[in-house]
Amino acid sequence: MEGSSELKISGKAIIFGDNVNTDIIIPGRYLTSLDPNELAKHAMEGLDPDFTRKAQGGAIIVAGRNFGCGSSREQAPLALKYAEVKCVIAESFARIFYRNAINISLPPLECSGVLSQVHDGNILLVDLAEGEIVNQTKNRTIHATRLPEFILDIIKDGGLIEHLKKRMRGMR
């Protein structure tokens, strides 16, 4: 399937609980920086000062309900993305974070009961097109809510801006 390679992601799981808010993901006092690498240095520091070191080399955040609640700051998914987070899997998402993540091509996957099936450091293989997560450490397959086609298209294109450019080229 064309483009499917970008839709397969692997990484080690980093676990968080419910209601992880955007002030925790990236505090307001850092938002004056426009450099995503600078933002990434402070990602999650209020919850885990060691987070950026742990995420190096590719991580998948696995969290509980209402991930990314709070402010509309797109710097939150951006900080995670530049901290080498490849995908966020949660029981549910706050809607603005969810859209922001899609728009910058950091795939958010909703998966009911995921916290009981993944432990910190487990190696996960995510197939976005199928909505399937393989926990390689535990040799177990978990079914997530598959992203709708039009959202997969935005992620495949590398985010909303690239997607829009492609659409506008098509219209000309």
Using the minimum distance from each CB to another protein, give the nearer residue, 75 or 122. 75
- Is residue 86 involved in binding another protein (CB under 8 A)? no
Window contacting another protein (CB under 8 A); options: 5-13, 27-35, 80-88, 124-132: 27-35
HSE value, Cβ hemisphere, 13 Å, CA-based, for 20: 29
- Which residues in the 128-157 window bind another protein by CB under 8 A? 150
Window contacting another protein (CB under 8 A); options: 7-15, 30-38, 55-63, 80-88: 30-38
Cβ-contact 15, 119 below 8 angstroms: yes
Using the minimum distance from each CB to another protein, give the nearer residue, 66 or 135. 66
Tell the smallest beta-carbon distance from residue 136 to another protein (Å).
30
Q: Among 14, 55, 63, 69, indicate the residue that binds another protein (CB under 8 A).
A: 69
C-alpha 48/C-alpha 46 separation (Å) is 6
Strands 140-143 and 132-135: antiparallel
Q: By the criterion CB under 8 A, which residues form the site for another protein? A: 18-19, 21, 23-24, 27-29, 31-34, 45-47, 65-66, 69-75, 92-96, 99-100, 103-104, 150, 159-161, 164-165, 168
